[in-house]
A and B are shown apart, each in its own frame.
Chain A
Amino acid sequence: MTASSGLITTGDAGHAVSEHSPVGGLAHDSRGGISNPDPRMILFICSEVMFFSGLFAAYFSVRASSPHWPPQAPQVPAALAERFNLHGEPWFAAALTLVLITSSFTCQFAVWAIRRDDRTGFIRNIAVTLVLGIVFLIGQLYDYSTIGFGVSDTPFGTTFYTLTGFHGAHVFGGAVMLSVVLYRGLAGQFSSRHHDAIEATSLYWHFVDVVWIALFSTLYIL
């Protein structure tokens, strides 16, 4: 006996599943309301927000206690200080931001599609989301290869790579989730009544996007 659908007591027996409930489209148990995977993903996202908060707190703390930010000559060699000037060249990162924001839109389109049983629309949008996510990852790696400083180049380098690196790892995790969801979608496992995994994945993907917007603003604009 699994517990994934809620209660199994013979007490107040469940009332009939309603198609017209206000959360129509989400799978629900005998009492209505969203079922287990969504609270799980929301709580998981809470924990991830706290994880990134720790990293952001470290970034702001290190930044506040540095005499200059980004570090300048003569504390660091002039060539390195030049590389640290992210404000001067935010264009590539801005393009990546656009890619990720677009992918959030296509992800949401996919969710809306499956909620109204439009499986083709869902597959298409999820595939585009996945492709955009991979483009982001490739772009991030390319950026690393040309940026000219490393993780051990002053606290600036350390915080840059730690923040963007862990974000990239989360994008990778999201890409894996999208692949699984795409595969299962192609295998016909989702319908408007049963697509918890898609709701959860899209919540996660939006979270990853929001973190990137915060990152981009912090590292390239502030």
Chain B
Amino acid sequence: MATTTLTPAASAYRSGLYEWLTTTDHKKIGILYLVNSFLFFFIGGIFALLVRSELAQPGLQILHDELLYNQLFTMHGTVMIFLFIIPVLVGFGNYVVPLQIGAPDMAFPRINALSFWMLPLAGILLLMGFLTGGAAQAGWTSYSPLAQDRPLASTGPGQDLWIMALLLIGTSSILGGINFLVTIFKMRAPGMTMFRMPILVWTVLVTSVLVVMATPVLASALIMLFIDRNYGGHFFDPSTGGNAILWQNVFWFYSHPAVYIMVLPAMGMISEILPVFSRKPLFGYKAFVFATAAIGALGFSVWAHHMFTTGSVYLPFFSLMTFLIAVPTGVKMFNWIFTLFRGKLTFSTPLLFALGFLSMFLIGGINGAFSAAVPVDFALQDTYWVVAHLHYVLFGGSVFGVMAGLYYWFPKMTGRRLSETLGKTQFVLMFIGFNMTFFPMHQLGLAGMPRRIADYASNAGWNDLNLLATIGGFVIASSMIPLLWNIFISLRAGEPAGDDPWGANTLEWATSSPPPPYNFDRLPEIRSERPLFDLRHGRNVSH
């Protein structure tokens, strides 16, 4: 395969600190997003380990009351959602999308940089709560009246800092969403029609529509809560004429589409990886696109399934829409499986994580269907069943997808390959640890263990499964060691990757690793969704 880049006369990057602080290059900004997000992944993970350590045995061993415990799980959820999962996927999108569409950068490079730098600032603001008398402690869902500034509720600045941090992050998201949409619509290389775009680009497109439409509603909710807390407002506090359920409706109107924001780009990454390692095209490209769009649209109609037990929701509609959203998800699952079917599979680390994604997301989707059945939700809502469900889709799903993407694109970003041995070690540890932690939570929820309790009765029968889950949590933590070691040694002395170490299909592999600042000297002709494959094999290969 002929290389498509000219050898640059000078080094491709100025890589000093000033360059990193002021860059508007989407590739560097993408890497900044990834590094920042993983930092918060570890912070959120430490909060989780503290929570799990407390729950391993009945009795309060580590914390002496719930005050800190409530802050820990609130901040765990908030940090993982807003400072890890959402931005890490934006980071991958930032790096890969312009390359995949043959563009030299994003449409608005300076706004891109602004979007990034708002995040570390927001993170600091959020964590400051711990130093100012207590971080937010009403759960990441921050229900009113518990989130109001009243005795025994959320007095102190921690909750206000939480609101401000989320407003910043939301603004960063919206600006990023606008950036992606304009880039995708306006800057594709000649020949790349919409239906020749890589699937990752499609998922980023739908995700960005969700971001632009849903995140502002969260902003309005946050502002209304801020007014309640600080200016004597009466939106959400029933004791002064407000409406507690109103908060839940406005909050979930964003936070349900948010879960698709958190998973669709990961699905896009899986959809890039499975074809490459099966050496076949993605099965049902167009069906996949329509299924993604359907999930995006339907995602706006299901929010009140988080509120089935409030007695204030029109149950039949939301239950039906929740069931229906399983259909396009199932279409995708089958399309992925049939991409593998009759392929020739190479079990590199990216494929292992992609396969892990398929199995874990399957479980997460299935246990979600239980909750869609309203009477069953009466038993399972607000118990550890829900904790199991959300972690199977967000960790087993999104995080496994992120790991797959990391191993897949690391060679492109750095010019070095990661060690396969260490990668497989991480996969095994993470897979085992993940299931050890979260599978028992199905049983715990069924047995009646509620969420968000710092402690439980020693005679409730929950002791053994909690201990197992805690051990699993530490196994997950241990899986980070091979990952970090792998990155460290590969950056220094990893095998040079070359342009296209995987034999891949899309345009980012048609330039050097890492690409020059302007991305491409020359582009292959684009006549399908696999321009590099076509270049390599010609268009005569049997379809």
Contact (Cβ within 8 A) A36 B102: no
> Quick one: given A3-B109, A54-B217, are A9 and B249 in contact (CB under 8 Å)?
no
* Residue on A nearest B224 in the bound complex, by CB: A58
Contact (Cβ within 8 A) B219 A54: yes
B463 to chain A, nearest CB (A): 44
Contact (Cβ within 8 A) A7 B103: yes
What 0/1 pattern do residues 15 to 58 of A give for CB contact below 8 A with B?
A: 00000000000000100010110011001101110111111011
Query: Which B residues lie within 8 Å of A85 (CB)?
Result: none
Q: Does B213 touch A at the CB level, under 8 Å? A: yes
Contact (Cβ within 8 A) A11 B241: no
Contact (Cβ within 8 A) A12 B220: no
Q: How far is the CA of A166 from the CA of B233 in the complex (A)?
A: 15
Query: Which A residues lie within 8 Å of B191 (CB)?
Result: 11-12
Query: Which A residues lie within 8 Å of B174 (CB)?
Result: 44, 47
Query: Which A residues lie within 8 Å of B160 (CB)?
Result: none
Query: Which B residues lie within 8 Å of A3 (CB)?
Result: 103-109, 187
Q: How far is the CA of A57 from the CA of B243 in the complex (A)?
A: 12
Contact (Cβ within 8 A) A36 B108: yes
Interface size class of A (residues with CB under 8 A): 35 or more
Residue from A1, A71, A155 with most neighbouring chain B CB atoms (10 Å):
A155
Query: Which B residues lie within 8 Å of A120 (CB)?
Result: none
Contact (Cβ within 8 A) A162 B233: yes
Query: Which A residues lie within 8 Å of B187 (CB)?
Result: 3, 6-7
Contact (Cβ within 8 A) B243 A62: yes
> Quick one: given A3-B109, A7-B187, are A58 and B220 in contact (CB under 8 Å)?
yes
Q: Does B290 touch A at the CB level, under 8 Å? A: no
Residues of A149-166 at the interface with B, using a CB-CB cut-off of 8 Å, are 150-152, 154-155, 157-159, 162, 166
Q: Does A94 touch B at the CB level, under 8 Å? A: no
Contact (Cβ within 8 A) A61 B189: no
Contact (Cβ within 8 A) B235 A62: yes
What 0/1 pattern do residues 204 to 243 of B give for CB contact below 8 A with A?
A: 0000000011111111110110011001111100001111
Q: Does B186 touch A at the CB level, under 8 Å? A: yes
Interface of A (DSSP majority class): helix
Q: Does B133 touch A at the CB level, under 8 Å? A: no
Contact (Cβ within 8 A) A61 B246: yes
Q: How far is the CA of A10 from the CA of B308 in the complex (A)?
A: 57
> Quick one: given A1-B104, A11-B190, are A151 and B232 in contact (CB under 8 Å)?
yes
Contact (Cβ within 8 A) B224 A43: no
Query: Which A residues lie within 8 Å of B518 (CB)?
Result: 1, 8
What 0/1 pattern do residues 50 to 75 of A give for CB contact below 8 A with B?
A: 11111101100110011000010000
When the two chains form the complex, which single residue of B104, B108, B186, B250 contacts A54, counting CB atoms closer than 8 Å? B250
Contact (Cβ within 8 A) B223 A162: yes
Q: How far is the CA of A150 from the CA of B185 in the complex (A)?
A: 46
Contact (Cβ within 8 A) B178 A43: yes
Q: Does A146 touch B at the CB level, under 8 Å? A: no
Interface size class of B (residues with CB under 8 A): 35 or more
* Residue on B nearest A166 in the bound complex, by CB: B223
Contact (Cβ within 8 A) A43 B182: yes
Contact (Cβ within 8 A) B216 A48: yes
> Quick one: given A51-B216, A58-B224, are A36 and B234 in contact (CB under 8 Å)?
no
Residues of B517-531 at the interface with A, using a CB-CB cut-off of 8 Å, are 517-518, 520, 522-523
Contact (Cβ within 8 A) A36 B182: yes
Q: How far is the CA of A2 from the CA of B111 in the complex (A)?
A: 13
Q: How far is the CA of A152 from the CA of B212 in the complex (A)?
A: 31
Contact (Cβ within 8 A) A155 B190: no
Residue from A10, A44, A58, A61 with most neighbouring chain B CB atoms (10 Å):
A58
> Quick one: given A54-B221, A154-B241, are A43 and B212 in contact (CB under 8 Å)?
yes
Contact (Cβ within 8 A) B182 A53: no
Contact (Cβ within 8 A) B102 A9: yes
A121 to chain B, nearest CB (A): 30
Contact (Cβ within 8 A) B216 A158: no
Contact (Cβ within 8 A) A44 B178: yes
Q: Does B75 touch A at the CB level, under 8 Å? A: no
Q: How far is the CA of A178 from the CA of B175 in the complex (A)?
A: 21
Query: Which B residues lie within 8 Å of A6 (CB)?
Result: 186-187
Contact (Cβ within 8 A) B250 A50: no
Q: How far is the CA of A210 from the CA of B488 in the complex (A)?
A: 55
Q: Does B197 touch A at the CB level, under 8 Å? A: no
Query: Which B residues lie within 8 Å of A11 (CB)?
Result: 189-191, 523
Q: Does B181 touch A at the CB level, under 8 Å? A: yes
B145 to chain A, nearest CB (A): 14
B303 to chain A, nearest CB (A): 12
Query: Which A residues lie within 8 Å of B241 (CB)?
Result: 62, 66, 71, 154-155
* Residue on A nearest B111 in the bound complex, by CB: A40
Query: Which A residues lie within 8 Å of B228 (CB)?
Result: 158
Residues of B139-172 at the interface with A, using a CB-CB cut-off of 8 Å, are none
Q: How far is the CA of A154 from the CA of B218 in the complex (A)?
A: 23
When the two chains form the complex, which single residue of A7, A9, A152 contacts B234, counting CB atoms closer than 8 Å? A152
Q: How far is the CA of A89 from the CA of B454 in the complex (A)?
A: 55
When the two chains form the complex, which single residue of A8, A47, A53, A71 contacts B104, counting CB atoms closer than 8 Å? A8
A176 to chain B, nearest CB (A): 17
What 0/1 pattern do residues 113 to 142 of A give for CB contact below 8 A with B?
A: 000000000000000000000000000000
* Residue on A nearest B241 in the bound complex, by CB: A155
Residues of B474-529 at the interface with A, using a CB-CB cut-off of 8 Å, are 517-518, 520, 522-523
* Residue on B nearest A33 in the bound complex, by CB: B186
Could you list 18 examples of A-B contacts with CB < 8 Å?
A6-B187, A9-B520, A29-B186, A36-B108, A40-B178, A43-B177, A43-B178, A43-B181, A46-B212, A47-B215, A54-B220, A58-B220, A62-B235, A65-B243, A66-B241, A157-B234, A162-B223, A162-B235
Question: Top 6 A-B pairs ranked by shortest CB distance?
Answer: A152-B232, A54-B220, A51-B216, A12-B190, A50-B216, A54-B217
